[in-house]
Amino acid sequence: MSREAIEELIDRWTDDPDFRAAVRRDAEGAVRATGLELDVDEWAAIHQIDWTLSDEELSSRANKGGFGDVLC
Q: What are residue 67's phi and psi, to 5 degrees? A: -70, -45
pLDDT of residue 13: 86
Helix axes 27-34, 40-48, angle to 10 degrees: 140
Cα 38 to Cα 52: distance, rounded to the nearest angstrom:
22
pLDDT of residue 66: 54
Total number of domains in the chain: 1
Residues 13-37: tens digit of each pLDDT: 889 999 999 999 999 999 999 998 8
> Would you list the DSSP string of 3-42?
HHHHHHHHHHHHH-HHHHHHHHH-HHHHHHHHT----HHH
pLDDT of residue 18: 95
Residues 42-67: tens digit of each pLDDT: 888 888 888 888 888 887 776 655 55
Instruction: Say which residue, 70 or 60, is predicted with more confidence.
Output: 60
For the chain, the residue count is: 72
The identity of residue 54, as a single letter, is S
What residue numbers bound the domain in which 64 lies? 3-71
